[in-house]
Amino acid sequence: MIEIKNLSKNYGDKQALKNLNLTIKSGEIFGFLGHNGAGKSTTLKSLVSIIEPTSGSITVDGLDLKEHRQEVKEKIAYVPDTPDIFLQLTASEYWDLLAAAYQLPEADVAKRRHDLIELFDMGAHVDETMASFSHGMRQKSVLIGALLSDPDVWILDEPLQGLDPQAAHDLKELMKAHAAKGKTVIFSTHVLDTAQQLCDELAILKKGDLIYNGSVTDLLAQHDNQSLEEIYLGMAGRQDDGHLVDNIEGDDHE
């Protein structure tokens, strides 16, 4: 279980996160939704200690992140929102580097590495550089690297971005299977269908504020016959009755 208490993050005088309180239970898929700049990546980066929160605390399975940083990090797989990293390395060198950093014995990791490469159809590309990859191939390489150590908690920032339909399907199945084993999957997405399909629980952020936390089922039940898109836009969206689109593509401009 992950507990986030009174978490705030300021960048200079910009408040990216305002007093966030959340409990994320093991065995569930937890999704973060929110417009660009709402604070999703800031939250996820705080959970993996990439950024230092301005205030508040995070505990993972009862361990305070500040006091047990290394121990907690070993439990976590993190996929950042951009896969443009270690571009000079081949995919194989990148995974070797991660296995060494996590001190994973070759014998333990070999089968999982092989299986992940096969699942994401990267076998023909292991000796090619990350720089030569398409966005989706880099994303697959980063996913394989993050999941090599078989950590309990997966924290995935827009993980489906750029994946082909097969890889997206496979990753969603992996996420469900991981949660079904009683482990934790946390991810952010802008794709509401994906959120509806996958999430047990949701947090919706708006300009650093938490505006909804609960199950997708409850959210849909509270809004008769509305789609998740309609509900989401009603809560987090702009109230402009469509005139901004008309300004650009309306009849007056024909």
Ligand X SMILES: Nc1ncnc2c1ncn2[C@@H]1O[C@H](COP(=O)(O)OP(=O)(O)OP(=O)(O)O)[C@@H](O)[C@H]1O
Classify burial at 176, counting beta carbons within 10 Å of its beta carbon; exposed 0-12, middle 13-18, buried 19 or more.
middle
Task: Find the part of the chain contacting ligand X (CB under 6 A) among 30-38, 85-93, 125-133, 227-235.
Answer: 30-38
**What is the amino acid identity at position 169?**
H
Distance CA 152, CA 119 (A): 20
With respect to ligand X, which residue has the nearer C-beta, 16 or 146?
16
42 interacts with ligand X by CB under 6 A: yes
Distance CA 92, CA 59 (A): 33
Distance CA 153, CA 178 (A): 9
Distance CA 30, CA 142 (A): 21
160 interacts with ligand X by CB under 6 A: no
16 interacts with ligand X by CB under 6 A: yes
With respect to ligand X, which residue has the nearer C-beta, 36 or 70?
36
Distance CA 2, CA 28 (A): 11
Phi/psi region, residue 77 (left: phi>0; alpha: psi -120 to 50; beta: rest), is beta
Among 20, 41, 125, 137, binds ligand X (CB under 6 A): 41
Question: Looking only at residues 181 through 200 of this chain, which bind ligand X when binding is defined by CB under 6 A?
Answer: none
Question: Looking only at residues 68 through 97 of this chain, which bind ligand X when binding is defined by CB under 6 A?
Answer: 81
39 interacts with ligand X by CB under 6 A: yes
What are the φ and ψ backbone dihedral angles of 87, each rounded to 5 degrees?
Answer: -65, -25
With respect to ligand X, which residue has the nearer C-beta, 120 or 187?
187
Question: Which one, of 204, 221, 220, 201, lies nearest residue 212 by Cα?
Answer: 204
| Helix residue spans in the chain (DSSP H) | 40-47, 69-74, 91-101, 106-119, 135-147, 165-180, 192-198, 216-222, 228-236, 243-249
Q: From the CB of 209, what's the least distance to ligand X, in Å? A: 12
With respect to ligand X, which residue has the nearer C-beta, 77 or 204?
204
Task: Find the part of the chain contacting ligand X (CB under 6 A) among 11-19, 139-147, 210-218, 243-251.
Answer: 11-19
Task: Find the part of the chain contacting ligand X (CB under 6 A) among 23-31, 37-45, 102-110, 160-168.
Answer: 37-45
Q: From the CB of 11, what's the least distance to ligand X, in Å? A: 3
Q: From the CB of 232, what's the least distance to ligand X, in Å? A: 13
Task: Find the part of the chain contacting ligand X (CB under 6 A) among 36-44, 71-79, 103-111, 128-136.
Answer: 36-44
Q: Name the site residues for ligand X (rule: CB under 6 A).
A: 11, 14, 16, 34, 36-42, 81
